[in-house]
Chains A and B, each alone.
Chain A
Amino acid sequence: MDDGTLMLRYRDGDVRAFETLYQRHKAPLYRYLQRLCRSPDTANDLFQEVWGKVIASRERYEVRAQFNTFLFRIAHNCAIDHFRRAASVQAKVTADIYSMADELPGSVAERPESQAAQAQLQADFAHALNALPPEQREAFVLYEESGLSLAEIGKASGVSMETAKSRLRYAVAKLRVALGRHDPERIERATVHPSHVAVAATLQPGVEL
């Protein structure tokens, strides 16, 4: 049964329909919020807030788009509201990056050599992901977790499809750069343009290219 039908059933009083919906979408949503917020407590709060709004909006729910679009639209708005309430988005991003570094598993030197490179790769990737501007990171995580198209990502984020595509393009480029450091073949395939690095260093949240 598709998500729209389950939501309509829940609107009509079928709790089990909601439970099915919840089981389908709770993990991607939770990962999305984790990547976006990079704080487990914040992700937990936002996770519960998002589902609470889904429950509250069941009466006026209409099957006009995918349920994923509807769900991540609510998640996006909740996240934006949360960031606006925060003292400084840039400061938080910076703090999260360092805190993330502290939370990483033990130093690479402590692991066997065969796993060290893999761990380092993941660490670098995670760092690169966290270093992305929030809009680009959101576009990338949304694409990875929700399975929505570029147009639907634009709707969920409240922007046009071209804007969503642009954000995703820059995010992918930066992440490929991080991966290229560990993969000589990827370095050859990936073309690192000096302007990418400059943009990444100077890009402020909310600034679109």
Chain B
Amino acid sequence: MDTVDETALNDYLRRDSAVSQRYRELDADAVPASLDHAVLAQARAAIAEKKPSRWRGVTRWSAPLALAASVVVVVSIVREPAMRKVQTVPVAAPAPMANESAPLRYEMPEEEAPVRAIPQSTAAAVTQEQEARKRMQVSPEAKQARPAESMRAKKFELDRNVRDEAVSNAQQLAAQSVATPPPPPVEFAPPPNTNIAHPIAMSRDDVAAAAQRRALPPPSDSDLSEVIVTGQVRRPAPSSGAGPRGTVPALPKPDGAVDEAFSEDEPEAWLRRIREWRNEGLSRRADDEWLRFRQKYPDFVVEDADIARPPR
């Protein structure tokens, strides 16, 4: 039975058997037209209802895209001021000078006599020095803000060389108060020949010496010109304890000893030595030597770069 049935089935599965033929000969009704219309109408209605789904992909992603775009805009707005601060030149040293609140020494009316500025400068120097010390201890964010203040400092009519000198002195002062002094700004890079000391960067010893100098006899005309330029009167040679703390080792200078590199009898060598000290960052010593040089050789012709320009 199984064999016969299987044979018959295999014969049928070829789709050309008599059974299939008879089946296809049976009468069969066609699909009524009403049914066609009903089914097709239902198909169209289903699509019409779901028409918005074509935009489903767009609307589905519109919210996340809008959120991402908002985040990008917010981040760019927030970062822009920070980037602007970073791009400006970081100036920690000239900040004390550039501070608008601190009265700068050379911020005086033109009609005032320079001599009157001397006593003011001393007190102002003390105040400025104290403020400078405070500023040196501020947070890094405030230090970064100093570039902006230094930019505003350009508005002040200051001697460029004075500013340059203030940078080097401020650096030394900063080294006293902070572990790592910031790099000097390019625009305030002190020229090699700058030998003007800024009163703001005076150390405590300098302040004390300046106070003592009030008792000194009034300076001569030649000295007065230097005072106008430097804002300082001659101060005694620094002791072994003076100088930048822990940064620049005090050069051993026994009393009466003369540096091997120059002799005071040789003005050119002396000037050359002063320039070397400035290049080495020993501005304070260079300033002292410059004053002594000028006192000894008031008429010695020096280069324009060696001459400190008076404040305007």
Interface residues, chain A, with chain B CB atoms under 8 Å away: 10, 12-13, 15, 18-19, 22, 26-27, 30-31, 34, 40, 44, 47-48, 51-52, 55-56, 58-59, 121-122, 125-126, 129, 140, 144, 150, 165, 168-170, 172-173, 175-176, 179, 183, 186, 190-191, 193, 195
Contact = CB atoms under 8 A, between A and B. Distances in A.
B9 A169 contact: yes
B5 interface: yes
B43 A55 contact: yes
Contacts of B253: none
B91 to A, nearest CB: 65
Interface string B32-54: 10011011101110110011011
Interface size of B as a range: 35 or more
B247 interface: no
Contacts of B1: 191, 193, 195
B43 A13 contact: no
Given A19-B40, A31-B28, A122-B27, 6 more contacts: A30-B30, A44-B35, A48-B38, A55-B46, A125-B23, A168-B12
A119 to B, nearest CB: 11
Interface in B238-274: none
Contacts of B47: 10, 13, 15
Contact of B43 (A22, A170, A175): A22
Nearest 5 interchain pairs by C-beta: A51-B39, A191-B4, A172-B12, A18-B43, A169-B9
30 contacts: A10-B43, A13-B47, A15-B44, A15-B47, A19-B40, A22-B39, A22-B40, A27-B30, A30-B31, A34-B29, A44-B32, A47-B31, A48-B39, A51-B39, A51-B42, A52-B39, A58-B46, A122-B22, A140-B23, A144-B20, A144-B24, A172-B19, A173-B5, A175-B19, A175-B22, A175-B23, A176-B18, A186-B18, A191-B1, A195-B1
B8 interface: yes
Contacts of A170: 5
B8 A176 contact: yes
A56 B19 contact: no
Interface string B88-119: 00000000000000000000000000000000
B5 A169 contact: yes
B75 interface: no
B6 interface: yes
Contacts of B53: 13
A195 B1 CA distance: 9
Nearest to B24: A144
A44 B43 CA distance: 17
Nearest to B48: A15
A26 B4 contact: no
Contact of B19 (A58, A179, A193): A179
B25 interface: yes
Contacts of A121: 22
Contacts of A40: 29
A28 B139 CA distance: 87
A122 B25 contact: yes
B26 interface: yes
A25 B36 CA distance: 12
Contacts of A173: 5, 8
